[in-house]
Structure 1
Amino acid sequence: MGAHGHGHGVGVGTDRRWLGAALGLILTFMVGEFVVGLLAGSLALISDSAHMLTDAASLVLALVAIRLAARPARGGYTYGLLRAEILSAQANGITLLLLAVWFVYEGVERLLAPPEVAGLLVLVTALVGIVVNLAATWCISRADRSSLNVEGAFQHILNDLFAFVATAVAGLVVVLTGFDRADAIAALVVAALMVKAGWGLVRESGRIFLEAAPRDVDPDALGARLAGVAGVAEVHDLHVWEITSGKPALSAHVLVRPEADCHEVQRAIEAVLRGEHGLEHTTLQVDHHEDVALPADGADHCADPHGPVHLPGPLLAGGSAGPDGPAGSAGAIKGQPAP
């Protein structure tokens, strides 16, 4: 017996419009900044322009991923291509990390042997870059940032904004003091920010690819909560994961006490999942406990069970559950003492 809830809608039109506007701003300024960076001999400006190139690439990738994710499920892709967005986010994170490595290398070289930097040109260009990146950041902030894909593009642009602030400070220092190493120091600061943002994207996208539970869901606590629903004898093979960012899913095998109505129990569990945990996409296998053949040795009836078995109360001899408590009472995990 299964229950399914669906909610895979993506704000495709809105997100694409805002991302497209940010892309236009970034591409226009990127070319000018690269030329000025060459003329000024500024690593900070050249590194910023390279970062903006990856910003543009990340925005293009995000736009492609949004289009792919909006395609309906068909054929062997039973969830559609929703995880194209996670691939995009992971690619954005990896490029940030790789760029950080390059900036550290170049920055250290310039600390050891600083070239002459045209500070005023760097300062003016950086101030214009701050304005452009503020506009681009605002555009992307209007899109759905609950999507890890959009968040990846946002982090690229936000880090570029920080980079321009650091570059402006470096340019001002060069103008006022002639300290050319300030340019390399700014590049190292930007690299540190890139590592922080890049690692966050790689970590979060990796959790989704490994089908870890959403960070706001404790599977053991959730299993105990479901086991506490009136009429439930046992919950096992409980899996909760994210199809893509912000779209959690759950599956579980629920055994119902012989005297209980399995349909009522199923509806009660679905209400808990929706109301308390925001889980709309659920697949529940619901069986009466008496209908499931148990091995003579008292082992689990599933040949290859996954995860703990959640019971509604203290365990009795032979591994059976005790009397059912009120709905919402804490459950026990088989083989462990009841809370």
Structure 2
Amino acid sequence: IVVLLSCSLSLLADAGHMLTDTASLALAWLASRIARRPADTLRSYGYHRVQILSALLNGIGFIVVVAWIVVEAVERLLAPVAILGDVMLVVAGAGLVVNIIAFLILHGGSSHNLNLRGAVVHVLGDLLGSLAAIGAAVVILFTGWTPIDPLLSVLVALLILRSAWYVVRKSTHILLEGTPDDVDITELRETLASSVPAVRDVHHVHVWSLTPARPLLTMHASIADDADYTAVLEQVKAVLIEHYGIEHSTIQLEPQHCVDDHPTGYTSDSVPNREH
């Protein structure tokens, strides 16, 4: 009610953010709880992707909020309204304290958790919204220039849009089983071939992630005829863990031709192109 009486868009946007934050934090918490469930016969990889779905929903929700703020700001610029600067300053100051505490609690654990990062984006939006509301209140109290309120609201909305878009883009990339950003498949193939003497060629490499902290890999490796299968497998897995942090890998060792490159019953001295 106090927010509505102040007639401040930046303060109203900040209050709206806090309401959506409550829902997004609850969603993030629920997703993290579900992700702890063990794998079962229906979901052999477990429930880790629930966190990515939660992050995607949070990111999309914030983009919707940003769009609403921009539309409201344009309307306020075209039809200015009187704003109670003193009320706006007090409420925004209280909101800033709450948002700083929430941001400090969440920020430390968000570097590798996309679900938590989505929640942090929401809290960051509130924090910046509170700062914008305080700045607008000061300007209005000393100058009476009310357009500062919607202008700062748009500025904050655009800043948060960048973070929200990152969460949406990253979560979509993971859901589409894209290659992790820190893995270059060509470089990975070359590293394995040079680090493990028995490996002659690496092909059919597929790398994806359950979450940013859980990369997975499947690949084929052509090896020397007299190679020790167990030793080669241990060496390849050691390189994957040490250089790429990939702890879960499925590796097919091939002393002759690649079975997948040759139909059943077909043999040939020439080996097809394996660059895929």
Paired position in structure 1 for 2:209: 242
1:254 is matched by which residue type in structure 2? A
Aligned with 1:289: secondary structure? Answer: coil
Deviating beyond 6 angstroms after TM superposition, the runs of 4 or more aligned structure 1 residues are none
Write the deviation string for residues 61-94 of structure 1: whole angstroms up to 9, x where unpaired: 1011001100000021111111000001111111
Paired position in structure 2 for 1:185: 151
Q: Which has the higher helix share?
A: 2
User: 2: CA distance between counterparts of 1:190 and 1:86?
Assistant: 25
Contact 1:137 1:158 in 2 (8 A): yes
Aligned with 1:180: secondary structure? Answer: coil
Aligned with 2:219: secondary structure? Answer: strand
Aligned with 2:65: secondary structure? Answer: helix
1:267 is matched by which residue type in structure 2? E
1:172 is matched by which residue type in structure 2? V
**In the TM superposition, what are the counterparts of 1:152-167 in structure 2 within 5 Å?**
152-167=118-133
Aligned with 1:245: secondary structure? Answer: coil
Paired position in structure 1 for 2:11: 45
**In the TM superposition, what are the counterparts of 1:199-210 in structure 2 within 5 Å?**
199-210=165-176
Contact 2:69 2:157 in 1 (8 A): yes
Q: CA RMSD in A?
A: 1.7
TM-score (norm 1): 0.76
User: 1: CA distance between counterparts of 2:190 and 2:131?
Assistant: 50
Q: 1:136 to 1:247 in 2, by over 3 A?
A: same
Could you tell me which runs of 5 or more consecutive residues in structure 1 were left unpaired when the two chains were aligned: 1-34, 310-339
253, 268, 278: which one pairs with 2:220?
Answer: 253
Paired position in structure 2 for 1:130: 96
173, 176, 194: which one pairs with 2:142?
Answer: 176
Write the deviation string for residues 199-226 of structure 1: whole angstroms up to 9, x where unpaired: 1111110110111111111111001111
User: 1: CA distance between counterparts of 2:235 and 2:143?
Assistant: 70
Could you tell me which runs of 5 or more consecutive residues in structure 2 were left unpaired when the two chains were aligned: none
Identity of aligned residues (%): 40
Contact 1:37 1:43 in 2 (8 A): no
User: 2: CA distance between counterparts of 1:144 and 1:109?
Assistant: 36
106, 115, 119: which one pairs with 1:140?
Answer: 106
1:298 is matched by which residue type in structure 2? S
57, 67, 72: which one pairs with 1:91?
Answer: 57
User: 2: CA distance between counterparts of 1:115 and 1:155?
Assistant: 30
94, 105, 113: which one pairs with 2:79?
Answer: 113
What displacement does 1:144 show?
4.8
User: 2: CA distance between counterparts of 1:291 and 1:45?
Assistant: 64
Tell me if 1:268 matches 2:235.
yes
Contact 2:10 2:152 in 1 (8 A): yes
**In the TM superposition, what are the counterparts of 1:56-71 in structure 2 within 5 Å?**
56-71=22-37
TM-score (norm 2): 0.93
User: 2: CA distance between counterparts of 1:233 and 1:143?
Assistant: 41
**In the TM superposition, what are the counterparts of 1:14-29 in structure 2 within 5 Å?**
none
Write the deviation string for residues 295-337 of structure 1: whole angstroms up to 9, x where unpaired: 327243xxxx9x716xxxxxxxxxxxxxxxxxxxxxxxxxxxx
Aligned with 1:77: secondary structure? Answer: coil
Contact 1:262 1:287 in 2 (8 A): no
Tell me if 1:151 matches 2:117.
yes
Q: 1:230 to 1:113 in 2, by over 3 A?
A: same
Contact 2:222 2:258 in 1 (8 A): no
What displacement does 1:253 show?
1.1
- How many residues are paired up? 270
Write the deviation string for residues 133-171 of structure 1: whole angstroms up to 9, x where unpaired: 000111112435411000110111012101110110001
Contact 2:110 2:120 in 1 (8 A): no
